[in-house]
Structure 1
Amino acid sequence: MKVRLEIVYRTKKGTETSFVSDYMQSSKALLIVEDLEKTGRLKEITLIDSHDTSWTTKELKKQLEGIQTEPHDVTIYFDGGFDLKTKKSGLGCAVYYQQNGKSFRLRKNAHVDELDTNNEAEYAAFHLGLQEIEQLGVHHLPVTFVGDSQVVINQLNGEWPVYEEELSKWADRIEAKLQDLGIQPEYELVSRKQNREADHLASQALKGVEISSVIEMEE
């Protein structure tokens, strides 16, 4: 879960000022709070999540302690590719998450024949990522979905309407799965270069190279 810090700081002479931070992972936010508290000049602090829910430091610590043994702080990079000549699609996703104080990366791709457009392949890649975190047991947590498809990101976050029937079916399927798992989605649109890992997985799938792996990441 990502939060921002809203801070009221007082100097030795009693001058006060307010700060609002960028969003960051909860674990990082708690470390910063702990460091600020050591100064003895922190008058007030509130932690706000992406759904504008306020947390005290104590509440957030309790929340993190309760999920340490389960996959959390989940980010999914997804990408889909469609070969117009062969009418085949390659899907790729890379899932990063924390569990038991360790960092992991799951990589998965798939080769499919039943899609008709690149946008469908992008939606299918998003859905592949959802299936993978369902198998991991991720539920009732915020999850960040990162992709380079403006269509998928902007349609799922509600900024763009969905006119195409097939894309509408994919969007409905994804939203139903998100609701079923209790996932609070956060969407991030990036460039293709920033989505290189998922793009490579999708390209490998189109070439018939199957990838399915989970590794522990070094800090």
Structure 2
Amino acid sequence: MPRTSVKGQVLANLVAEFTEPSPEEVMAEKDMDEKSIGMISQQGPSHWEVYVDGVVNQKGSGVGLVLISLERIIIEKSLRLDFLATNNEAEYEALLMGMSMVQRMGGKAVELFSDSRLVMGQVQGEFEAKDERMQGYLSQVKCLQLKFKFFNLLHIPRSGNAHADSLATLATSSA
């Protein structure tokens, strides 16, 4: 039987906490008063740092995410994209996936780090999204951005994003 580390158990508990509830859990939740529901929703981390990266190579395209809560809970995600993407599309996919994960976990504040100057520049309004596909991605980011009380996207050097980059590269090696 494999041993589960403390970090692994914390991660397993966090993932279990944010999975879809069973019909029984939904009924039980409906029976709770508002005070109890408010207390439950405050248990999850509300502020996250998210490192995102997208990779395209000969083997395919993938995204890598490293989510870190204030409580130092770390979630790593490596996802292979099931469509032919450009590097900029993969970067946007990583950004959107990171934002979506935080939002689904109840996060209200997010600070995202990306090594893509183009994506960061478009989101911050410094660069214009001329391509129709980039405009679509930008629109999705702007829509998700509204769901956060605090949103910040920062550019970091590629060397500072090695963890997310390695996860994205790992995703391209899967079948």
Q: TM-score, structure 1 length as denominator?
A: 0.57
Residue 97, structure 1, aligned to residue 69, structure 2: yes
Q: Which one has a larger percent strand, Structure 1 or Structure 2?
A: 1
Measured after TM superposition, the shift of residue 115 of structure 1 is: 3.6
1:110·1:205 contact (CA, 8 Å) conserved in 2? Answer: yes
What is the CA deviation profile of residues 100-121 of structure 1, one whole-angstrom value per residue up to 9, with x for unaligned ones? xx32111111101324310000
Q: Which one has a larger percent helix, Structure 1 or Structure 2?
A: 2
1:78·1:93 contact (CA, 8 Å) conserved in 2? Answer: yes
Task: Tell me how large the CA RMSD over aligned residues is.
Answer: 1.8
| Residue in 2 that maps onto 1:161 | 128
| Unmatched 5+ stretches in structure 2 | 1-40
| Residue in 2 that maps onto 1:12 | none
| Unmatched 5+ stretches in structure 1 | 1-66, 210-219
Q: Pairwise mapping of residues 41-52 of structure 1 onto structure 2 (< 5 A)?
A: none
The runs of at least 4 consecutive aligned structure 1 residues that moved more than 3 Å come to: 67-70
1:115·1:121 contact (CA, 8 Å) conserved in 2? Answer: no
- In structure 2, what is the Cα distance between the partners aligned to 1:148 and 1:182? 22
Q: Radius of gyration: which is bigger?
A: 1
Larger mean CA deviation between 121-130 and 110-119 belongs to 110-119
Measured after TM superposition, the shift of residue 131 of structure 1 is: 1.9
2:160 corresponds, among 184, 194, 202, to 194
Measured after TM superposition, the shift of residue 184 of structure 1 is: 2.7
| Residue in 2 that maps onto 1:135 | 104
Q: Pairwise mapping of residues 140-219 of structure 1 onto structure 2 (< 5 A)?
A: 141=109, 143-179=110-146, 181-208=147-174
What is the CA deviation profile of residues 60-114 of structure 1, one whole-angstrom value per residue up to 9, with x for unaligned ones? xxxxxxx97331331110000012x45x21101101112xxx3211111110132
